[in-house]
Amino acid sequence: MTGLFPPPMGLIVELTHRCPLQCPYCSNPLELERPASELDTSAWMRVFDQAAELGVLQLHFTGGEPTARRDLPDLVRHASARGLYTNIITSGVLLDEPLMAALMAAGIDHIQLSLQDIEPENADRIGGYRGAHAKKLAAAQRIRDAGLPLTLNFVVHRQNIQNVARMIDIAEKLGAERSEIAHVQYYGWGLKNRAALLPSRAELDATTATVEAARARLKGRMVIDYVVPDYYASRPKSCMGGWAQRFINISPSGKAMPCHAAETLPGFTFPSVRDTPLAAIWQSDPAFLRFRGTDWMPEPCASCERREIDWGGCRCQAFALTGDAGRTDPACALAPDHAVMAEAVAERGIAPPPFIYRRINAGSERAPVEAVV
């Protein structure tokens, strides 16, 4: 690839892997990074300066739970002063009045709040945190009262999929401008819990019909984003808008990656923002160049008319399901490995197995939780 590649649209900032919740579909890696390894305030601010210089438009604060960092308002203020659009993706359980006021004073532009379900008991069970659902509803009200647009995220799976219509109803009642009904994506913790989470085809079809009807009813009032599971798809998603095409993801310790799941791939050494400027990472780091564009593609992608639409799907899913990140995503019906998707569906069983909750050291040691169901 020659010349300068256009800048990324967004920087995804995993401030910390600490989180009071323990969702069994968490997108964080199985090996969570320890608090002692986190970048400090000044290091993050330097990264935001570099992002603004590079031409990044949006900064997404995520985690773990980004509000677990006490310096979050300072970081928002710094990013905002550099002209970056600031968004926080949060579970909301720590979003109390003082923090909400501090974030508003710092210039936060948008907050996305996640809910585990609509039934409090089931929601708390899924998140592994007693009382979380009530705290989330209070946080939603706080976001609305502050005058910020509200986006509600629901992660959908076989243990809450029956409630999708009610999820949309509550988003409407809470005055959300946008809601996201996103089926679990099966990487990391989601893959580990796949049999406990993967819905049936009939459940998926019923949900899709519910979402379509709600979209028609709420047109002009609330936007509903809908993300379906790859396991029933015939073509893959354009994962992250293509490898190293639109986003840089930075882990709590400063590891820069094209997506949050990329560190599952063997044979990669991802650069650190501690010692490499963001522009150099984006333009020339070998890990970022490895699957950018179409040159790396095997058949059937190489000659497919969709190769610059879905970019061959997800590299991390290709590795997780075939052992080779360079193969066509098995979610594609044209992929030589597509049969593995049907095999996974067949393995899901009649009753879901117990959750393996997201904890440091894959369950042998508790994450820093405040209350556990």
Q: By the criterion CB under 6 A, which residues form the site for ligand SF4?
A: 19, 21-23, 26, 28, 63-65, 91, 235-236, 300-301, 304, 306-307, 310, 312-313, 328-329, 332, 334, 358
Upstream peptide bond of 300 is cis (omega within 30 degrees of 0): yes
- CA-based torsion, 329, 333, 336, 339: positive or negative: positive
Provide, rounded to whole angstroms, the least separation between the CB of residue 55 and ligand SF4. 28
Give the nearest distance from C-beta 312 to ligand SF4 in angstroms. Answer: 5
Contact 297, 307 (CB under 8 A): yes
**Alpha carbons 113 and 309: distance in angstroms, whole number:** 29
Q: How far apart are CA 199 and CA 340, in angstroms?
A: 16
Contact 25, 155 (CB under 8 A): yes
52 versus 123: smaller Cβ distance to ligand SF4:
123
Least gap, CB of 301 to ligand SF4 (angstroms): 3
CB of 321 to ligand SF4, least distance (A): 13
The distance of closest approach from Cβ of residue 222 to ligand SF4 in the complex, given in angstroms and rounded to an integer, is 23
Q: Nearer Cβ to ligand SF4, position 164 or 314?
A: 314
Interatomic CA distance for residues 237 and 360, integer angstroms: 30
Structure tokens at 309: 């639409």
Q: Are 20 and 370 in contact (CB under 8 A)?
A: yes
Q: CB 300 → ligand SF4: shortest distance, Å? A: 4
Please tell me the distance from the alpha carbon of residue 112 to that of residue 126, in angstroms, as a whole number.
19
Identify whether the C-beta of residue 90 lies closer than 8 Å to the C-beta of residue 117.
no
Nearer to ligand SF4, 26 or 198 (CB): 26
Minimum distance between the CB of residue 83 and ligand SF4, rounded to whole angstroms? 28
Nearer to ligand SF4 by Cβ, of 105 and 371: the residue is 371
Angle at CA of residue 151, ends 352 and 207, nearest 5°: 40
As a whole number of Å, the CA-based R_g of the chain is 20
Q: Least distance in Å: CB of 313 to ligand SF4?
A: 5
- Pick the closer one to ligand SF4 by CB: 180 or 285: 180
**Residue 234 Cβ, how far from ligand SF4 at the closest point, in Å?**
9
Phi/psi for 88 (5° steps) reads -115, 130
Q: CB-wise, 176 or 335, nearer to ligand SF4?
A: 335
Q: Which is nearer to ligand SF4, 77 or 157 (CB)?
A: 157
**Residues in Cβ contact with 100 at an 8 Å cutoff, skipping those fewer than 6 apart:** 139, 142, 143, 146
d(CA 95, CA 77): 17
Q: Strand, helix or coil at 84?
A: coil
Q: Are 337 and 322 in contact (CB under 8 A)?
A: yes
Q: Which is nearer to ligand SF4, 64 or 229 (CB)?
A: 64
Indicate the residue among 154 and 282 with the shorter CB distance to ligand SF4.
154
- State both tokens at 221: 């009032």
**9-40: burial string, b at 16+ Cβ within 10 Å, e else:** ebbbbbbbbbbbbbbbbbbbbbebbeeeebbe
